[in-house]
Amino acid sequence: MSLNLIRDRQLVAHDYPLLADDAALPASGKLTVTLARWRQDGEALRAPGLEVGVRIPNTVDVADIWAEISDRPMINLEFPGFADGRAYSQARVLRDRYGYRGEIRASGGAVVRDQLHGMARCGINAFELRPDQDPQVCLGAFEDFGLAYQPAADHVTPVLRLRGRR
C-alpha cells in the first residue's frame, strides 16, 4: 500500500514501513515495529544496518515506556479515529517532558487534513496521511492559524507573551 507521508511540511516518499509482528526481520533498512515486538526482539532489532521506529499503543503512559524507546529515531503514535485524542497528550509528553528530538509520526484513521494543525502543535512532525487524503490540500492545514493562545510543543510564542512584547 502506498501511503502519502508528510514530514516537516514536505511531501516525501514513505519510509519506515510497519513490520507485522510475525514477519521475519530484514537484514537492513528502516522499519517500524510494534511495542510488543520491540520488547520481544529488542536485541535483534538493534543490529547494525537496521533503523527501527516503534509504534506505541495510545493507551500506554509514556512515562512507563520512555526508558525502552528513548534512543529510537522514530516513535509512531496511533490516531485511530476522530473521537480518540489520547495520542495528542503522548506527543506533548515526549517532546515537552522528555525532550525527544527524533521523529514523531502520526498514523491511523484520523490523520486527515483537519487534524494536522493540532498534531503539529503537539510536536508531531510526520504524518502518514489516510489514503483518501489529497496531500496538497493537507499541506495547507499548517497555515490555518498564524497565532496561538497557548504554549505547546511547537514553541510558537503564545498571544499572552506577544502582548507583553508590544
Partner 1 sequence: MYRYDSFDQQLVDDRVAQFRGQTQRFLAGQLPEDEFRSLRLRNGLYIQRFAPMLRVSIPYGLISSKQMRMLGHIARKYDKNYGHFTTRQNIQYNWPKLEQVPDILADLASVQMHAIQTSGNCIRNITTDHLAGAAADELVDPRPYCEITRQWATFHPEFNWLPRKFKIAFCATETDRAATRLHDIGVFIVRNAQGELGYAIYAGGGLGRTPIVAPKIRDFLPELDLLSYLEAILRVYNRLGRRDNMYKARIKILVKETGPAKFTELVEAEWAKIRDGELKLTPADFDRIRQHFDEHPYAADAAADASFDAAVAADSAFAAFVKRNVKAHRVPGYKAVFVSLKAPGVAPGDITAEQMELVAQLADDYSFSEIRSTHDQNLVLAEVRQQDVYAVWKALKAHNLATPNIGLLTDLICCPGLDFCSLANAGSIGVSDEITDAFESMDDLYDIGEMKIKMSGCMNGCGHHTVGHIGILGVDKKGEEWYQVTLGGSAENDASLGDRTGPSFDRAHIVQAVERIIEVYLEQRSSEDETFLKTYRRIGMAPFKARLYADEAVAA
Q: What is the x/- site pattern for partner 1, positions 18-57, by CB under 8 A? A: ----------------------------------------
Distance (Å) of CA 105 to CA 147, 148, 160:
23, 22, 29
Complex with partner 1: residue 38 or 88, whichever CB lies closer: 88
H-only helix segments in the chain:
35-45, 62-69, 86-92, 113-121, 135-139, 159-165
Which one of 45, 56, 94, 152 is in contact with partner 1 (CB under 8 A)?
Answer: 152
Strand partners, 18: 32
For residue 156, the surrounding DSSP H or E stretch is none
Complex with partner 1: residue 43 or 143, whichever CB lies closer: 143
Q: Does 164 contact partner 1 by CB under 8 A?
A: yes
Q: Does 82 contact partner 1 by CB under 8 A?
A: yes
- Angle between helical axes of 35-45 and 62-69 (0-180°, round to 10): 20
Q: Can you give the binding site for partner 1, defined by CB under 8 A?
A: 61, 82-86, 88-89, 92, 96-97, 110, 112, 114, 117-119, 121-122, 134, 144-152, 158-160, 162-164
